[in-house]
Chains A and B, each alone.
Chain A
Amino acid sequence: MMRKSTTRFFQYLVLILITLVIFTPVVVLIFGSLKTTGEMYADPYTIPTSPQWDNYAQILFSSSFWVFLRNSLIVMVSTTFCVLTVCSLAAFVFSRMEFRGKELAFNFLTLGLMFPITVAIMPVFLVVRDLHLTNTLLAVILVQTAFGISGNMLILRGFFLSIPVELQDAAFIDGCTSFGFFWRILLPLARPALAAIGALTMIVSWNDLLTPLVLLDKEELWTLPLGTMQFQGQYSSDIALVAAFVLISALPAIAFYMVAERQIVAGLTAGALKG
């Protein structure tokens, strides 16, 4: 009994120490964002005595922040919509239909798991340029979707396979078409899986730096990560303002994480445990 409580004590000690290491950078950032740059040089790590909301006001009243936010939202929502549509259609075929070359087609579409987007971004840029799609949000959406296909289709197919075949038989006996079965029965049943994939895709798209960095040079098209990076470069001497900008741009992701933690976790673990 004695030994057990000592073990518990050390367990919590380690966990609390790590919790501190996770939170400290974020807390220092919050403190910094509420100070003037002068205060930050003089007294960098303490709780701000009189919180300065000017940094926030300056960012929230600048149009560029809202432009970045809007672009990020457009890209995130569209990418997620496209990934869900494209992957559920393909996953339906691979889990519910038989045809010659099915195995080959499926293996082909999962090739994307062998290499991340970074490896292909240079060739992709050249193709996007030939299609005259550079400096469009559409290009970012299509590229992100293309690289989201392999993993997400695999997860959804696994989920579709777990839905009993008898349901499909019943639907067909009642005169349902393939599409009717997919749309009215399979998709509603797959809602938890769709939510998991959707949440994960949203995070990946929202945080993506490389695709927008390579495909967009016009400031009015920048997404939030790209805008944040450039803002930091431009105002690097005004560290309090940069802190506020970084914090504001982190808020949507943190808020989303708090709301959708369950879905994000489900999406990640489904991917890792299937296969």
Chain B
Amino acid sequence: MEIPAFKNMKSKRGPGPSLRSPDTTTIILFLLPAFVLFLLFLVYPIARSIYYSTFDWNGLGPAVDFVGLDNFRQILTDTVFMTAVWNCLLIVVLSLIVQLPFSLALAIMVGRDLPGRAFFRAVFFMPYVLSEVITGIIWVSLFNPDPQQGLINALLVLIPGVQPQLFLSDLNMVLPCIFVVLTWKYFGLHMLLYMAGLQSIPREVEEAAIMDGANTWQSIRYITIPLLGSTIRTTIQLSVLGSLTQFNLIWVMTQGGPVNASEVMATYMYRFGFVRFQLGYGSAVALVMLLICLVFSVVYLRLARQPDYLGGM
């Protein structure tokens, strides 16, 4: 039953919000806090650092020693910075080929209905809640080279013929060790996201595949993983941006040492900007990092063609 008058009213009004006159005052007042904070602490600082990055400036007094693009030239020819970029890329690659598949495998294994599912999810996610400082301090002591003080070496020497390892003091082992800790801390987050994604896939789809003669592996490979696409894209973006800008854990565990072996872009920037107080050079490093993140985000969003976002800072 339709009442003609009402029908007309409805069709006149376009879709979407149905306000009387849009009141500009409310819009401005409501958006103001977000815009002020965003402009003041995000956009303006970055814009200004473009200016500072062209100076050799120690932060005392105004910046007067204009050096043009010299800071950038110096960054790109500094072998330590190149080590830092290389280490970041290594963490990115390891995260993508080890950490994410591992989390995905676990999420699929726990599935939707394994008894104890909630318990394991809660336990695996727990390290994410601990701060990087706490995580870092705990793991530095686990990695202690002396088996009397470091649990990992104490367990290693139980195996006949195995010598205690230097771990964080070893130039070649320090980065893999940090990666282990990163995985310990973050795999639960990715697993949680995959588990949430699994919830939105109807079980019937997989069951139908099995009925049609697919084995478990085929059903996972051709049904489950493609349907998890948007969640996987989100975790890849998170993981890459997180790896490119990792600071806290590495600063607590090694401060980029020994001899720059675990230096990443963020620790390099911190060292120049805040320890040596070369603010012009530090600004330039920050811009290079920003550019790398932006290029990745833009290219990745273009390629993935879907805006997958995650909240939080």
Say how far A143's CB is from chain B's closest CB, in angstroms: 5
Q: Of the candidates A108, A127, A208, A229, which one forms a contact with B44 in the assembled complex, judged by CB atoms under 8 Å apart?
A: A127
Whether A116 contacts B231 by the Cβ 8 Å rule is no
Question: A123 an interface residue at 8 Å Cβ cutoff?
Answer: yes
Residues of B within 8 A of A221 (CB): none
Residues of B within 8 A of A117 (CB): 313
Say how far B236's CB is from chain A's closest CB, in angstroms: 12
* Interface magnitude class on chain B: 35 or more
Whether B30 contacts A229 by the Cβ 8 Å rule is no
Question: A90 an interface residue at 8 Å Cβ cutoff?
Answer: yes
Whether B49 contacts A126 by the Cβ 8 Å rule is yes
Residues of A within 8 A of B231 (CB): 272-273
Known contacts A89-B33, A272-B193, A275-B308; is A239 also within 8 Å of B294 by CB?
Answer: no
Whether A203 contacts B252 by the Cβ 8 Å rule is no
Question: B242 an interface residue at 8 Å Cβ cutoff?
Answer: yes
**26 A-B Cβ contacts within 8 A?**
A15-B106, A24-B151, A28-B151, A41-B148, A45-B151, A116-B313, A119-B289, A120-B290, A122-B279, A122-B285, A125-B274, A126-B45, A126-B59, A146-B41, A147-B41, A148-B313, A152-B312, A155-B311, A165-B17, A178-B23, A179-B26, A209-B133, A228-B131, A229-B252, A246-B137, A272-B309
Other than the given A85-B33, A229-B252, 14 more pairs (CB < 8 A) read: A15-B116, A21-B184, A86-B34, A86-B37, A116-B245, A122-B279, A123-B46, A123-B48, A142-B37, A146-B41, A178-B26, A207-B130, A272-B196, A275-B306
User: Chain B: residues with CB nearer than 8 A to chain A?
Assistant: 16-20, 22-24, 26-27, 30-31, 33-35, 37-38, 40-46, 48-49, 52, 59, 106, 109-110, 114, 116, 120-127, 129-134, 137-139, 141-142, 148-149, 151, 154, 184, 189, 192-193, 196-197, 200, 230-231, 234-235, 241-242, 245-248, 251-252, 266, 269, 273-274, 279, 282-283, 285-286, 289-290, 293-294, 297-298, 306-313
